[in-house]
Structure 1
Amino acid sequence: MICNLCPRRCGVERTPDKAGGVCAMPAWPVAARAMLHQWEEPCLVGEHGAGAVFFSGCNLRCKFCQNGVISQEGYGKPITPRRLREIFEELVEQGAACLDLVTPSHFTDAVLEALGEERWPVPVVWNCGGYESVETLKRLENRVQVYLPDLKYALTEPAKAYSGAADYPETAKAAILEMFRQTGPYRMENGQLRSGVLIRHLVLPGELENTKAVIDWVAETFRPGEVLFSLMSQYTPQPGAEGKLARRVTKAEYRAAERYMADCGIADGFTQERTSAKEEYTPDFHLQGI
């Protein structure tokens, strides 16, 4: 296929076994692990964990990516849409609280084929970097119950410097509005998120103004009770990190972000302890479950 699934609009040919584009992936899925994941937000984990499938490749090139071995180095195992469906079924049988599809956007066609037309017994979660095409998202309507996008940046400069996507702020905002159009206000049952949008934002060292701009947009765009917001402190410097990215977020930075979030009236969501930058958040990718 000629691929224009994401905002990069590479226009390159990607076939089941021919890779291309910024994501550097074929059209059929490549995945690095499937597991019951305990380290998502509590409303996604349930008793046994979120049924996470970690896909390889990504349409962003974030300098701070904690999953770089699969997102940028391409580690993973090629599978068919049929095998992907079997993986979904296996995770449900294991007691997964949801199907947590991690960075699935460049495999949209295969994911939709694997999901089929029926409603799954647990919510399908589209866990993405926020850099999404509205046109592609519209194809997911009624097939995805929970959207879990990052809103990494509301300012152009860090978006360009750290992810090579100067258009990220406006692109991600448009995508999140489409997600909300599809799901409406979030809905919880027994502490578990059944439908809705949960926006994540990772606080980056030295980028408090960007965090404040993200919080401003969320607070100005959505009323209380419409979306959930997760303010994350788990930034971990990656090998070779330079400049601001070479250190962790300080206690003062994260507390300032928390206070700003509260002052803006965002109460529906999650914060983290600053010590949450643990290795558990980055699973070992050894093809388990694939």
Structure 2
Amino acid sequence: MLSQTTRRIGRRKCLPHLARPLLQSRPRSFLAPPFLLDDHIPRYQLLTPLQEAKKRSAAYAHLRECNLCPRLCGVNRFEKRGTCLIGADVVVNTVAPHFGEEPCIQGHNGSGSVFFSGCNLRCVFCQNHDIAHQKNGFHLSPEELAEWYMKLQEVGNVHNINLVTPEHVVPQVALSILHAKELGLRVPIVYNTSSFDSLESIELMDGLVDIYLADFKVWNAATSKRLLKADDYAETAKESIKAMHRQVGDLCFTPDGIARQGVLIRHLVMPGQEDEGKNIVRWLAEHVSKDLYIHVMEQYHPRAHVGKQRRTTAGRAKDISKGVVEPGDAPADDRAKRQVRYQDINRAVSLDEVDNVRKAAEQYGLWRILDPAEHGGFNI
């Protein structure tokens, strides 16, 4: 009798003779993955004209009353800007083949990354602070954005179009993908998100996105309120990730080792926060899928506001004379004035912390965990 995993392989039209690696005691993700597709047609290519028209209509409606992001600003983006400070156009910082993603995403030709300026989170440790927290870049309409997708495909020969931090520009992204389809786009779409997405956003992306490359950052509401400035982050991410997985399932590859469809979850392990990572991987195993492909990341380093001197007041002479003001308007002592902001995460993460989260993932039954290539090159 076939195992549950093997039956799933059959449903995905995976090559039957490649199911044998499932019997190995410790699967290695850089070898032949068990979830293989004979070929892959991007999901947006399968939309009917009626489905396309409905998505266009929904996208424009959301722009007129912006309610896709969990911030629920409700503004008319053609006239006003909300929390993200982005209007009806998008602001793009960088468009280029990118070689800093997971090997199964970037491959040998690179991932066609589009880095959007702005973000609906305010992570104090943001690793892309110069892009996400600042409005640096050039304005593009959805149609102009689609033309850049075509340049990435035709000139860059990239494996996919990788939309980085698109949570606040979902309507424009939907319109750009539909226009790019008309122009001849034929590579998969990667939705590279913090997971601070509403269910309405994920619904609009249904049929347009092939791969959800989703973060799950922190677990506790107090942590997310302090470090992400969004106390409902974890609850929102849970619902979003489950919706993503219902759409595209577990990560699948074509025989060249390039991911074509499914969910890939990232967790950036942070100093002193390994318990949060353990809770996250446990929840993923219990509530999403034990076959989920995950990347336990060790790249954290202090950025953005972490490690900077504590804020001092400005504008009133009495506040300036006090320097740092403690809660209750009490003047800070010399020791407090020397303290830096977010001192608890003002260091690199240790390899032990990363390893502990990874071991927890394995303990809870997750086995498709990204491994570094032992040969030192691409692990595809």
Deviates more, 1:262-271 or 1:114-123: 114-123
Q: Name which of 71, 80, 89 aligns with 2:150.
A: 89
SS in 2 for 1:116: helix
Paired with 2:195 and 2:152, the residues of 1 have a C-alpha distance of: 25
1:231 positional shift: 0.7
Go from structure 1 to structure 2 and tell me whether the alpha carbon gap of 1:123 and 1:214 turns closer, same or farther (over 3 Å shift). same
Question: How does the TM-score come out when normalised to structure 2?
Answer: 0.68
* Contact 1:10-1:22 at 8 Å conserved across structures: yes
> Are 1:73 and 2:134 matched, yes or no?
yes
Q: Which has the larger radius of gyration?
A: 2
Deviates more, 1:114-123 or 1:5-14: 114-123
Bigger fraction of residues in strand: 1
**Paired position in structure 1 for 2:205:** 140
Q: Name which of 154, 162, 175 aligns with 1:100.
A: 162
Q: Deviations over 1:61-97 (max 9, x none)?
A: 0001111112111111111112101110011111111
**Paired position in structure 2 for 1:206:** 272
> Are 1:268 and 2:368 matched, yes or no?
yes
> Are 1:10 and 2:73 matched, yes or no?
yes
**Paired position in structure 2 for 1:28:** 89
**Paired position in structure 1 for 2:290:** 224
Amino acid of the structure 2 residue aligned with 1:3: C
1:269 positional shift: 2.7
**Paired position in structure 2 for 1:177:** 242
**Paired position in structure 2 for 1:194:** 260
> Are 1:244 and 2:305 matched, yes or no?
no
Amino acid of the structure 1 residue aligned with 2:125: F
Go from structure 1 to structure 2 and tell me whether the alpha carbon gap of 1:272 and 1:59 turns closer, same or farther (over 3 Å shift). farther
Deviates more, 1:70-79 or 1:235-244: 235-244
Paired with 2:205 and 2:348, the residues of 1 have a C-alpha distance of: 36
Question: How does the TM-score come out when normalised to structure 1?
Answer: 0.88
Paired with 2:251 and 2:68, the residues of 1 have a C-alpha distance of: 26
Moved over 4 A (4+): none
**Paired position in structure 2 for 1:61:** 122
> Are 1:166 and 2:266 matched, yes or no?
no
* Contact 1:187-1:194 at 8 Å conserved across structures: yes
* Contact 1:155-1:213 at 8 Å conserved across structures: no
1:250 positional shift: 1.2
Amino acid of the structure 1 residue aligned with 2:168: H
**Structure 2: runs of 5 or more not aligned:** 1-63, 307-341, 374-380
Q: Deviations over 1:87-110 (max 9, x none)?
A: 100111111111000011221121
1:30 positional shift: 0.4
Paired with 2:171 and 2:354, the residues of 1 have a C-alpha distance of: 38
1:185 positional shift: 2.8
SS in 1 for 2:370: strand
Paired with 1:228 and 1:63, the residues of 2 have a C-alpha distance of: 27
1:183 positional shift: 0.8
Amino acid of the structure 1 residue aligned with 2:221: T
